[in-house]
Every structure is written in C-alpha cells, then in structure tokens.
Amino acid sequence: MNAVRYVKKAKKGNKEALLQLIMAEKDDYYRLALTYMGNSHDAMDAMEEMIVRLYENIGQLKKAESFYSWSRTILVNSCKALLRKRQKLVLLDDVGSDGESAMDHAPPSDPYRRSDQQMDIRQMLLRLNEQQQEAIQLKYWHDLDYQTIADITNVPVGTVKSRIFQGLKKLRELYGGEADESR
C-alpha cells in the first residue's frame, strides 16, 4: 500500500482512503491503546476516539509521510484523555458502600497480556515513574524509535533517551540486573 497516496486522498475528504490507512496498522494501534488503557474495551474506545479525531483533523497534517507518527500521537492523547476522565469518574461515582471501586472488578485480561512474564514485567514497571514507564513501553513493547516516542510524548529526543536509560537503570538496581561492579 502506498500510504502517502492514501493520505493525500484522505486529506481531500476520501473516507475510504482514511479507513485503509487505519486498517493497515489496526493491530499496532490496538496494542498501543491496550498498553495505556489496560483492557480491550477501553482500548477500542480510545481507537474510536482516534478515528474521529483523525477524520476531523486530517487536513491539518503537514507531511503525508508522517501520518502514522501523527496518528499514534492522537491515539496516545485519546488514551490519556479517557484515563483522566475515568479517574475522575472513579473518584466521584464508582466508590461503593464497601469502599471498593468498579476498577477493582476489571474484566479478565486480554489475550495480549496473558503470560506470567508480562505480568511480572508490568509489576516491575510500576516501580518507575509514569514517564519512564511510558517511554520504556513505547520503545520495547511497540518497537518505536526515539523520535516517534518524542513526538508522541511531546518531549525532546534527549528526554526520551534519559527516561529510558534512568528507568532501565532503576530496574537493574531493584531487580539485580547487570550491575556495574567497578564501583
């Protein structure tokens, strides 16, 4: 598929071309949304939000070859907005008389998250700050390059590299990875 050609058609209002672009990367979009949202239902909601925003804003895209980076950024922003909204809802509405929130009764894990090893890694990542978690997940789970991560998170490339380096360093310290024995 020639993505640039489809982007140009989409910018002229061709909905089918935009749909083709999205469908070509739908699995990657889903995995990215799932990383942020934590369950399949919310990941699909975030993808729907992304599609609406892409349709509404495709005319603002400057370089056709940047479509996938741009669309991932929109997806991540949609995920973050939904998470903020969900957090507010939990704080305001979902605390029941037993003190448990609806979030404590989340649906069963998605197939992408089943393995024990992934669960262990998720637990380890919880020991890092949010920015380090996000950068490491985007780099190693989604195989994104530093520039794309910088675009998605709206920080300089050097900051992305630093977050990944510092996060991995902390993980090594906490979990006995390859330590520098020269100290």
pLDDT tens, 122-136?
A: 778 888 898 999 899
Question: 156, 150 in Cβ contact below 8 A?
Answer: yes
Percent of the chain at pLDDT exceeding 90: 48
Q: Please name the fold of domain 1-94.
A: Rna Polymerase Sigma Factor; Chain: A (1.10.1740)
Q: What is the pTM of this model?
A: 0.64
**Confidence grade of residue 83 (pLDDT, cut at 50, 70, 90):** confident
Quickly state the pLDDT bin for 88 (edges 50, 70, 90): low
Locate tokens 């675009």: which residue?
151
CA distance 173 to 79: 31
Distance CA 168, CA 174 (A): 10
Tens digit of pLDDT for each residue in 102-128?
Answer: 334 344 444 444 445 555 677 788 888
Compute the chain's Rg from CA coordinates: 19
- What's the residue count for the chain? 183
Q: What is the CATH T-level fold of the domain 113-177, as seen in this structure?
A: Arc Repressor Mutant, subunit A (1.10.10)
DSSP 44-61: HHHHHHHHHHHHHHGGG-
Residue 145 Rama label (left phi>0; alpha psi -120 to 50; beta): beta
Positive or negative: CA dihedral 165, 172, 140, 54: negative
pLDDT band at 48 (very low <50, low <70, confident <90, very high): very high
Task: Give the residue extent of every domain in the chain.
Answer: 1-94, 113-177
pLDDT band at 101 (very low <50, low <70, confident <90, very high): very low
DSSP letters for 82-143: HHHHHHHHHHHT-B-TTS-BGGGGPPPPPGGG--HHHHHHHHHHTTS-HHHHHHHIIIIIS-
